[in-house]
Amino acid sequence: MERIDCGRMRALMDTGLDGALDPLSQLAFDDHLAGCAVCRADYAARQTFSEHLHQASYFTAPESLRARLVGSEPKQRGRWRWFAGGAWAGALAAMAASVAIYLGAASNSFERDMVAAHVHALAAERLTDVTSTDRHTVKPWFAGRIDLSPPVPDLADEGFPLVGGRLDHVEGRPAAALVYLRHRHVITLFAQAAERPVAQPARARQLNGYQMVVWGKDDMAFTAVSDLNLGELEEFQRLWAERAQ
């Protein structure tokens, strides 16, 4: 039977949750779960999130809105007018709903994977591959290991000391993970190559008690994740972005 490691497990977890693994992969998946407490905890967290998502309440449109969307043309104006008005509006509404659901699912997947990578590193006690408070040690360490060179500003004087960095994977893509502290709270800042140049302002996200701030600049996308309160995490992001210039 094929044996799979923790990295492969994280890539398979969503498929496993959907019950879509082939029989041999499912056996290897179950075998790894039985012997790895870290992946069991990660899988349990994803199960809980999935259950909450499926149990969420959905908005039901009021009759007045539904009437406006599907149209209320009199029948004597002809079947074609009804199709062009009512059916076309209904098709547009269905298309808009499908796009909204797709974008929401993509956003949830991104947020979930970012939090999962942060939690997995904490649980595995593998916060750093290179441990140093010196940015001149941490930044060069990534050279040759990932196709980007993230800024590594020193924020110790602001109460956010650098701890080190590591290589990680989020949504199947490599990421440089920079680790900072705020008191006893760990902040992971993920840097990934952007598909095209971006200038995205910071926006906040929350998931299962974890806070995220997401932004982009030039050819990189950044996400800061922590259980720190949102105000302090946003302050960290602001200081980091200013000194990363």
Q: What is the CATH number of the domain that holds 227?
A: 3.30.200
Q: Which of the pair, 143 or 83, is modelled with greater confidence?
A: 143
Looking at the 3D structure of the chain, how many domains does it have?
Answer: 3
> What does the pLDDT read at residue 101?
37
Regarding whether 22 and 72 lie in a shared domain, the answer is no
Regarding whether 150 and 108 lie in a shared domain, the answer is no
- 97 vs 54, 94, 103, CA distance in Å? 17, 5, 10
Q: By residue range, what is the domain housing residue 37?
A: 6-55
Strand order in the sheet with 173-182: 130-131, 162-170, 173-182, 185-207, 210-226
- Give the Cα-Cα-Cα angle 10, 11, 16 (nearest 5 degrees): 85
Amino acid found at 128: T
Regarding whether 71 and 32 lie in a shared domain, the answer is no
> What does the pLDDT read at residue 171?
77
Q: Which of 79, 96, 120 is the last residue of a domain?
A: 120
> What does the pLDDT read at residue 63?
61
pTM score above 0.75: no
Average pLDDT, the chain: 78
**1 in a structural domain:** no
Which residues fall within 8 angstroms of residue 216, CB to CB, at 6 or more apart?
194, 198, 199, 200, 222
Q: Which of the pair, 89 or 210, is modelled with greater confidence?
A: 210
- 239 vs 18, 127, 138, 156, CA distance in Å? 40, 22, 19, 11
Regarding whether 144 and 79 lie in a shared domain, the answer is no
pLDDT in tens, 21-80: 776 778 788 888 888 887 887 787 777 766 655 554 444 555 655 555 555 444 444 443
**138 in a structural domain:** yes
The two tokens of residue 137 are 């040690």
Q: Which of 80, 102, 120 is the last residue of a domain?
A: 120
Regarding whether 148 and 106 lie in a shared domain, the answer is no
- Highest mean pLDDT: which of 141-150, 201-210, 231-240? 231-240
- 232 vs 90, 99, 172, 193, 209, CA distance in Å? 45, 34, 29, 26, 14
